[in-house]
Chains A and B, each alone.
Chain A
Amino acid sequence: MEQIEITVSNILDALHRVKDPEIDTISIVDLGMVEKVTVNDHLICIDLLPTFMGCPALEIIRNNVVNELKCFMGIDFIKVQFIYHPPWTTDRVTEEGRENLKKFGIAPPPKLMPETGEWHVDCPYCDSTYTTLENLFGPTACRSILYCKSCKNPFEAMKPVSTM
């Protein structure tokens, strides 16, 4: 196997291959979960921000990160830790991440929360704004269930989370 140079940028490339366990179109990098990568002689440290507090996928993500770095980069000394500062908010989702969410049929969170607190969601299938919220809570803590009255599809949206 060709030895891959261990640099922060190569590690970030590898982390791009680690997807959300339930949304396989979006990487943990594009979700905005990767806060810090540190590389020194003995240890690679990855600081991740959990999205929702009770998210049961955290341990799976931790294992997937370790596996990716072990198997594909040959790195043995890896520490993956979840930190709570800064808090994860939905404005950390990258532009590419927003597109990738739509590919999975999930509407991305709004870029800015309007001051009224109203939340407008466009249908990820047909882009119609004629949608209704069916349930603020969805199949996972980070998603809501909506319905598009234009194309008659039910869909999910990533719940906006903001410290504002």
Chain B
Amino acid sequence: MSKIDIQQMDSAYKSALTDLLYQLADDDFILAYRGSEWLGLAPHIEEDVAFSSISQDTMGHASMFYQLLEDLGEGKVDDLAHSRKAKYRRNAILLEMVNGPGHYLKKPQYDWAFAVVRNYFYVQMKKIRMDSLKNSSYEPLAQIAINVNLELYYHLLHWRTWFVQLMQAGDEARKRMEAAINRVFDDFGGVLSLGPLGQEMSKSGLIEPEEILKKKWILVLEPVFDSINLSMPANFGIKNGNGRKGEHTEDLDSALSILSEVYRVNPAAAW
């Protein structure tokens, strides 16, 4: 399919494109926020530096996807990021879940195993999406995908290293990692989903079909799983709801109220 202009876009194409961009932007936005909550709490100081750098990159990616939405007339970047209520968000529920019990300022008991597994599995899926988007029929999205990929190389390397090392560490590390993997798989179906307009997205040449992307994810992870003696589940759950349809949990509401606090006080503040 040839590359497309905004003027020539038909309405089905535009709604599929818009929905895809909301998924990409909202996924990165909320996971970058969850990552930023680890600041000062990561297992060691090098990880504090690394994770905040990754979260900053990820927020940069969200910002670019919101910019594409602004260019399509969806509203201002800052409003799209800060002012939309949970029910309009399209991020997968797995990405909005709290880092663990407790509060950032009061006795946080964050779960590092969950952070490693959630980020590794998500970033691997994001890489597969970006590879596919490099051939997107929407040229501005294809260009951004190339730029995002440059940085994803480092993110993926980072999370894969943590994942493999903790899985090989045995004892408590292995037990906690396996528990985290089960939790992540319970909702990973949401990350793999392209939502109700998924078919339209692939028909329009925006991105490959959901099933193909999912197979690619499995294919890339299988050798890693084999190397640490772990089996891939037959099905990926969608236990807490489908974020692609606007279903969300309390965790998203409370995250949004905290992260948009400054914006609500002063909408001119830069983020």
- Which residues of A line the B interface, CB within 8 A? 52-56, 59, 84-85, 87-89, 134-141, 145, 159, 161-163
Q: Which residues of A contact B146 (CB under 8 A)?
A: 84-85, 87, 163
Return the chain A residue nearest B51 by Cβ. A137
Query: For the complex, what is the distance from the CA of A52 to the CA of B57, rounded to whole Å?
Result: 7
Sampled A-B contacts (12; CB under 8 Å): A52-B151, A53-B64, A53-B148, A54-B60, A87-B146, A135-B50, A136-B50, A137-B154, A141-B53, A141-B56, A145-B46, A145-B49
Shortest CB distance A100–B (Å): 23
Query: For the complex, what is the distance from the CA of A137 to the CA of B159, rounded to whole Å?
Result: 13
Query: For the complex, what is the distance from the CA of A84 to the CA of B60, rounded to whole Å?
Result: 13
CB of B54 within 8 Å of the partner chain: yes
Q: Given A53-B151, A84-B147, are A135 and B49 also a contact pair (CB < 8 Å)? A: yes
State whether A84 touches B144 (Cβ < 8 A): yes
Return the chain A residue nearest B139 by Cβ. A85
Q: Given A54-B59, A54-B60, A89-B150, are A137 and B144 also a contact pair (CB < 8 Å)? A: no
A contacts with B: majority SS: loop
Return the chain A residue nearest B140 by Cβ. A84
State whether B61 touches A87 (Cβ < 8 A): no
Q: Which residues of B contact A140 (CB under 8 A)?
A: 53
What is the size, in residues, of chain B's interface with A at 8 Å between Cβ atoms?
26
Q: Contacting A136 at CB < 8 Å: which of B56, B63, B64, B158?
A: B158
CB of B258 within 8 Å of the partner chain: no
Q: Which residues of B contact A52 (CB under 8 A)?
A: 57, 60, 151
Query: For the complex, what is the distance from the CA of A53 to the CA of B58, rounded to whole Å?
Result: 8
Query: For the complex, what is the distance from the CA of A161 to the CA of B149, rounded to whole Å?
Result: 10
Given A87-B147, A135-B46, 11 further pairs, Cβ under 8 A? A53-B60, A54-B57, A54-B61, A59-B270, A87-B150, A137-B46, A140-B53, A141-B53, A141-B56, A161-B151, A163-B149
- Which residues of B line the A interface, CB within 8 A? 46, 49-50, 53-54, 56-61, 63-64, 140, 143-144, 146-151, 154, 157-158, 270
> Which residue, A53, A59, A89, A162, has most C-beta atoms of chain B within 10 A?
A53
Query: For the complex, what is the distance from the CA of A53 to the CA of B57, rounded to whole Å?
Result: 6
State whether A53 touches B49 (Cβ < 8 A): no
Query: For the complex, what is the distance from the CA of A89 to the CA of B54, rounded to whole Å?
Result: 18
Query: For the complex, what is the distance from the CA of A118 to the CA of B33, rounded to whole Å?
Result: 32
Query: For the complex, what is the distance from the CA of A89 to the CA of B149, rounded to whole Å?
Result: 12
Query: For the complex, what is the distance from the CA of A141 to the CA of B63, rounded to whole Å?
Result: 16
Return the chain B residue nearest A89 by Cβ. B150
State whether A137 touches B148 (Cβ < 8 A): no
State whether A134 touches B46 (Cβ < 8 A): yes
Return the chain A residue nearest B142 by Cβ. A85
State whether B144 touches A54 (Cβ < 8 A): no
Q: Contacting B49 at CB < 8 Å: which of A88, A138, A161?
A: A138
Q: Which residues of A contact B57 (CB under 8 A)?
A: 52-54, 141
Shortest CB distance A133–B (Å): 11
Q: Given A54-B61, A84-B144, are A137 and B50 also a contact pair (CB < 8 Å)? A: yes
Query: For the complex, what is the distance from the CA of A162 to the CA of B154, rounded to whole Å?
Result: 11
Return the chain A residue nearest B59 by Cβ. A54
State whether B150 touches A163 (Cβ < 8 A): yes
State whether A54 touches B58 (Cβ < 8 A): yes
Query: For the complex, what is the distance from the CA of A11 to the CA of B187, rounded to whole Å?
Result: 54
